[in-house]
Every structure is written in structure tokens, then in C-alpha cells.
Chains A and B, each alone.
Chain A
């Protein structure tokens, strides 16, 4: 179905080898309209919504809003690392992950918005803090590199089984968004795993920081796996959060055991993000995220 939603005029720049006859044939195919890789893009979802081919029900829209807000707030947090990471290479790695998350946010918010006649931008820039449905983990401050890695480690180990299960959603667009996202999140999981192992097994200082980072972030694990009335009503369209906890525990324990880290003693925070009750951090994130769009409505560049 993703193929029929293709819109070649919006396809991103891609570097293609230009000399061989085979690649010329491929260029021809590109010009004819199929975006390379047939990846589902937010523009495709917006187009489908315009044509009336994709309109989620109220529950699916609210569910997409939660997933979109998680990704949007995390993307904003991660983007802050650009030019501030320990090495240029990590600037790019965290920037790539931020852009992946922003892509997922755009898809989910575009889809959610199509239920209410709103664009992704209207949802991202013109909602107030209590209208955001992201979990508390995503708005936690970056802290040092180890704290950010601790947050990434939890996020990726939550999002990977979530999107893997959501691929089987009875809602075709949620399934399509998840199918694209799951491969990217798989890489985020690998990235954070590599760093948890290296920071924990590196120097005394890096280990101290890794432990401190996990202690900061781990209390926000609980909220991710809480079921509520919405997730119960969704049925086959969504994924029951509590059903992901066993896989999260298994996958994180595997890495934490190897790194000789213990998180079992950390208490859980109360949460409330899914109902729009946020910590003091989200307001500052939103102020930075929204100021331009609110100061200059309709601005583009």
C-alpha cells in the first residue's frame, strides 16, 4: 500500500552512481515516480488523509498522538546534543537518532491530526503543555552523555518491541509507520547498548557516570508499561503496554548483566504524562520548540 501513496516530487536527495547502464535504468525508474526504497513518508500520510484514504478513529488518533509526542519530545532533547557531544562523530550519531525520532513523530502526528483536521505542525507547535501525551522519560533533561545514553537505552528497548508488535496492528497506517520505525529503532538499541557497555566497562569515571545516569532515568520506566482505558479499547489496533514489559526486562537485563550494573533498587516515579500531567521540564522544552512558530505564524524557510 505504501507504494501507491508515493509522491516522487517530494523525494529526498539521494546520491546514485551515475555511470553504469544499470544505474541509469534505476534513475529512469525514479523519474517515473517510485521513491527509492518505497519508504512511507509523512507527506504520503497527509496525501492519503486529504484523499480520504486514511482517517483514524478517535481512539487510534489519540494513541498515535501518544507515540508521536514521545518521539517529538525525544527528538527535541537529542537535537540539543548537536555540537555538544564528546566527539564530532557522536554529534552525528545522536543527530541521526533525533532525526529518526522526528520522522516517526511527523508520521504519527500527521496521522493523528487527520482525525481532527489538524496538520502535524498545528499539533506540534500550537498545543499547550497539558495537551501533550508524552511519557515523563522523554522530557528528562539530557544531563551528561551517560545520562542521555541511559535514557536512550530505556527508550530503544521500549520502542523496539512496541513497533515490532505494532507492525501487526489492524490499523494499516499505524502498521506501516511502525514497519519503517522498527528498523531505525533497532539501530538506536544497538547504539545505546554499545555505549552502556563501554561506559560501564571504561574508566572509573565513566562507570560512575553510567551508574548515575541509570539512577536518574530508571524511575521513568514504570510509566511506559502502564495500561489504561485507551489502550484497552484499542484492541488489535494498538499494543497493550504491559505486554511489552517481559521483553523489556529480558533485553535490558542481558546488557546490564554484561555491564555488571544493577537497577533493581531504583523506585518508580508516578507518571501521568499520558493524561497530560507533566514534570517541570516539559514547559521549557516546548518553549524552545514552539517559540518560532508562535512568534511568526506561518513562517517557512
Chain B
């Protein structure tokens, strides 16, 4: 490596177990009136930089009017292995949908 190259755009390689920025989850609102939707995740040293990185990474093509960032470890997630116990119970329980019921005779304004 020539001396010129060695002074150009250099970033010291992080050592073993070197410092890493924490992970953040990014939520982007695509336009007024819609809700924030999970767009992805990124690394940033703090919340202020996470917002800026999110702007650079997830709104480059006009996707958003508002951004939320949340530390990834602040999110409690359901266990994918417990999918059966968690999410299969409602199957076949049609009576939980309003469309299951027929309108009684004589009821107005329904």
C-alpha cells in the first residue's frame, strides 16, 4: 500500500470484541393519515444519529414524512416456536367475526 493510500479514507478495523453500535428498529410513516410501518433496522451510536441514519437509509426515494426509531432490545417479540399456541386458536372460530351472524328481523339501522 502506497503512503497516499494509507492516509486516504482510513477507518481502523475494530479489534476482537471491539465496540459496536447498538441496533435500532425503524418505523416510517409514508404519508399523513397512515400509521408508521416497520421498515427495517440499522446501527447507530444514539437515538439522534439513529434518526439521521434512518432518514438516509429508508427515505431516500421519497418514502416518508415521519420516522420513529426504537432500540431493538426494547421490543418484546412473540416466540416464533410458539406459533401454534399463540396464533392457531382463532382458526375455525367463525363466530368471532361479525359476518358470522345474521341480522335479526325487524332490527333497524344495521
A84 to B27, CA, bound (A): 27
Q: Given the interface contacts A84-B11, A93-B52, A142-B9, does A15 sit within 8 Å of B21 by beta carbon?
A: no
The residues of A that contact B70 with a CB separation of less than 8 Å are none
A115 at the interface (CB under 8 A from B): no
Q: Is the CB of A96 within 8 A of B62?
A: no
Chain A residue at minimal CB-CB distance from B54: A89
B15-47 Cβ-contact flags toward A at 8 Å (1 or 0): 000000100000000110010000000111100
A215 at the interface (CB under 8 A from B): no
Q: Is the CB of B62 within 8 A of A37?
A: yes
A37 to B61, CA, bound (A): 12
> In the assembled complex, how far is the CB of residue A69 from the closest CB belonging to chain B, in whole angstroms?
21
Q: Is the CB of A88 within 8 A of B43?
A: yes
Q: Is the CB of A194 within 8 A of B62?
A: no
> In the assembled complex, how far is the CB of residue B68 from the closest CB belonging to chain A, in whole angstroms?
17
A300 at the interface (CB under 8 A from B): no
Q: Is the CB of A36 within 8 A of B62?
A: yes
B60 at the interface (CB under 8 A from A): yes
Chain B residue at minimal CB-CB distance from A281: B4
> Which one, A48-56, A143-151, A237-245, is touching chain B?
A143-151
A3-18 Cβ-contact flags toward B at 8 Å (1 or 0): 0000000001111010
The residues of B that contact A141 with a CB separation of less than 8 Å are 4, 7-8
> In the assembled complex, how far is the CB of residue A87 from the closest CB belonging to chain B, in whole angstroms?
6
B8 touches which of A14, A88, A96, A142 (Cβ 8 Å): A142
Interface on B for A, CB 8 Å cutoff?
A: 4, 7-11, 21, 30-31, 34, 42-45, 48-49, 52-53, 55-57, 60-63
Q: Which 10 A-B pairs have the closest CB atoms?
A: A89-B53, A84-B9, A142-B9, A93-B56, A86-B11, A14-B62, A92-B56, A80-B9, A96-B56, A15-B61
